[in-house]
Amino acid sequence: MWTPDSENQVFDAVQTAKAQKTALTIVGHGTKKNYGRPSSGAQTLDLSGLSGIVDYQPAELMVTVKAGTPLAALNLELMSRGQHLVFEPADWGPVLGEEAGGATIGGIIAAAVSGPRRMKAGVARDHVLAVRSVSGLGIAFSCGGKVVKNVTGFDLPKLLTGSMGTLAAMTQLTLRVGPVPETEITVVYQGLDSQAATAILRDGISSPMEVSGAAYAPFPTAAVYLRLEGPVASVSDRAQALIREITTDAAQSMLEGEQSRELWRSIRDVRCFVGSNRPLWRLAVPPSRAAMMVSTIAQNLSCRTLYDRAGALVWLECDGDDPGESWVRTAASNVQGSATLFRAAPDLRTAIAPFHPEPPALGKLSETVKMAFDPLGILEPSRMVRGR
């Protein structure tokens, strides 16, 4: 195991692995080691020693951190200045069978973890300004810049976001941050079936009330949640206007302040599926087709679901050990969506491709990119796609 505490040591580790043709597994605190295909690296490159804030400029809404910096520590520092990571990254550790609070910022960006605010604030890659990395060729490089508008050359930070360490070992990241909303209110509609719920989700996000979170939890009590954030007076007025605008016979209530924040932390971290080891799917679909897709799957597979992002993201947990790959993937593809086997036993994640199969043209492009960054397959081989 390599445990570098500087970028130079990361460079040396990758150079050594390249010379020895030794595949590397890249980890921070290991909270996502059970996500994707089981790692096949013969050695581990542990980046948790690269920790700390390098540069924080609150007035410029920008922070630079080392890749092994715990997300919890970064959040505390940002909160002390009334700021946060606007893309609301989740802590996936517990739902993947690991401890809470262990996620690192490098792991968050490597896995492209975005939360419920994605539909308003954008995805994780939209908030990455610059990255320092070491490629599988053993070349240290930096890309991007400490400004929002930087269009020189290829936008490599976006390419590295979500690459799961298969292209480069990230050592330092510069991220855009934003002010924490003054308050928030969540309007709750209870006792709805999936069709009625998705209609309210659709009406909520299409309203002019600037909804920043829209979720539907069918269990244990079916409820739709619509979040509003901002100044106190504005949020209160918008909540009342939203209630007037949405026509429904469902029982209504409101959660305010910390109650609302705790609810969305629970939705963000998928806590309703924590404590289970049953197969869990993460489905990205057109929101208007989410209920239809789930209904089709449920005809053949007993399951539980959580709708996030107004139905654009559906978490689906199987009631048994069978992940029902053919049913789930076919139903997702039929609505122009994709299905990721987010949690499953290692043997299942070896036998079944965890990530949705790529169309041939996109697969060829992905292979070309992998060859450009890591032609010897040193970094996380087969983590995302078998043989790549």
Summarize pLDDT for 207-234 with one digit per residue, the tens.
999 999 999 998 878 999 999 999 999 9
* Distance of alpha carbon 285 from alpha carbon 326, whole angstroms: 17
DSSP 366-384: HHHHHHHH-TT--BSTTSS
The pLDDT assigned to 219 comes to 82
Confidence check: pLDDT of 148 > 90:
no
Summarize pLDDT for 100-139 with one digit per residue, the tens.
999 999 999 999 999 999 989 999 999 999 999 999 999 9
Cα 34 to chain center, whole Å? 14
71 near 104, Cβ under 8 Å?
yes
* Distance of alpha carbon 261 from alpha carbon 267, whole angstroms: 10
CA dihedral 137, 40, 268, 183 (to 10 degrees): -30
Query: In whole numbers, what is the pLDDT of the chain averaged over residues?
Result: 94
CATH numbers and ranges of domains, the chain: 7-179 (3.30.465.10), 183-268 (3.30.70.920), 271-344 (3.30.70.240)
* Distance of alpha carbon 62 from alpha carbon 358, whole angstroms: 34
161 near 195, Cβ under 8 Å?
no
Summarize pLDDT for 303-320 with one digit per residue, the tens.
999 999 999 999 999 999
H or E element at residue 267: helix 257-268
The pLDDT assigned to 147 comes to 59
Going by pLDDT thresholds of 50, 70 and 90, the confidence category of residue 150 is very low
Written as six digits, the tokens of 122 are 């954008």
What percentage of the chain exceeds 90 in pLDDT? Answer: 93
Confidence check: pLDDT of 152 > 80:
no
Q: What sign for the dihedral angle of Cα 27, 50, 11, 85? A: positive
Summarize pLDDT for 17-53 with one digit per residue, the tens.
999 999 999 999 999 999 999 988 899 999 999 999 9
The pLDDT assigned to 145 comes to 82
Task: Report residue 208: phi and psi, to 5°.
Answer: -85, 15
Q: What is the Rg, in whole angstroms, of the alpha carbon atoms belonging to the chain?
A: 21
* Distance of alpha carbon 182 from alpha carbon 159, whole angstroms: 33
DSSP 51-93: -SEEEEEGGGTEEEEETT-BHHHHHHHHHHTTEE-TT-----T
Query: Angle at CA 24, nearest 5°, toward 23 and 27?
Result: 160
3 near 361, Cβ under 8 Å?
no
Give the CA diameter of the chain.
Answer: 68
